Amino acid sequence: MRAAMRCPQCGRAVLWTVTEAGKRLLVDADPDPDGNTAVYQDGTGTYRSRRPSADLPVMGWERLHKPHVATCTPATRPAPGRPAPAVLPAGVADLTAYRRKTRGRS
Ligand SMILES: [Zn+2]
């Protein structure tokens, strides 16, 4: 399972993780050695995140990521080559328009 997606605010690649408290936390998809959140993928494909501590430092199977709220920059221009999130990719049908067109044809 791929949990990677684009942030609707800034278009960057992000990952949904689940914290130890069971809350969802959005982090940057790319690991960052300066990050403060340890992330690993569990057996079901869920990304788990936690704060490393002196007692529980980053383990070999974990990677440091930055919480996306720290890097989200919605005001800046979208990264080159990445379509604006509001625009549907080529080949993807607008279902609202489709339903409108086919209504009453049953
Ligand atoms: Zn963002």
Is this prediction's pTM over 0.85?
A: no
How many Å lie between the centroid of ligand 1 and the Cα of residue 17? 15
Rounded (10°) CA dihedral 83, 33, 4, 44: 180
**In residues, how long is the chain?**
106
Measured in whole angstroms, how far is the alpha carbon of residue 97 from the centre of its chain? Answer: 28
Contacts of 13 (CB under 8 A, 6+ apart): 4, 5, 6, 7, 28, 29, 30
For residues 103 and 39, the model is more confident at 39
First to last CA, the chain: 37
How many Å lie between the centroid of ligand 1 and the Cα of residue 99? 31
Greatest mean pLDDT range, 46-50, 79-83, 93-97: 46-50
How many Å lie between the centroid of ligand 1 and the Cα of residue 8? 6
How many Å lie between the centroid of ligand 1 and the Cα of residue 73? 6
